[in-house]
Amino acid sequence: MKKEVREVKKIKVWSAGKVFLVLGLIMGLLQGISLGFAAQQTRIANPEIATMSFTDAQVAGNAQAMLGLMLIKLGYWSIVVMPVLMALMYFLGAIIIALIYNLVARYVGGIKLVLD
């Protein structure tokens, strides 16, 4: 079989952004589900924290109580919030990386791929 070496000279920025947007949605959904379960477990394990606010003295000086309260307050909203945030971060990251790659590849050459 003949192996062909090809060089990736340029990455289409919008294409990379779209692909990573979808990957960010998937990863964010998985993280949101796990945070939702963690919030439920925190609420069960520490029911007294659920009634507190961030300005309470017991919470303000206690990092563990602050984290528990943040988990409880975010709760199942994380299933909606995390996919949106992760998709946005993945999308912007992919665009930035593709732009940097295109700039670098113009001067030093692109990545070479061996195709079968």
User: Which whole-number Å values give the CA distances from 105 to 6, 8, 43, 58, in the listed order?
Assistant: 14, 8, 51, 54
Per-residue pLDDT tens listing for the chain (116 residues): 788 999 999 999 999 999 999 999 999 999 999 988 888 887 777 777 777 776 777 777 777 777 777 777 777 788 889 999 999 999 999 999 999 999 999 999 999 999 88
Q: What is the domain count for the chain?
A: 1
Q: Note down the domain range covering 59.
A: 4-115
| Apex 81 CA angle, 18 and 48, nearest 5 | 160
pLDDT score for 68: 75
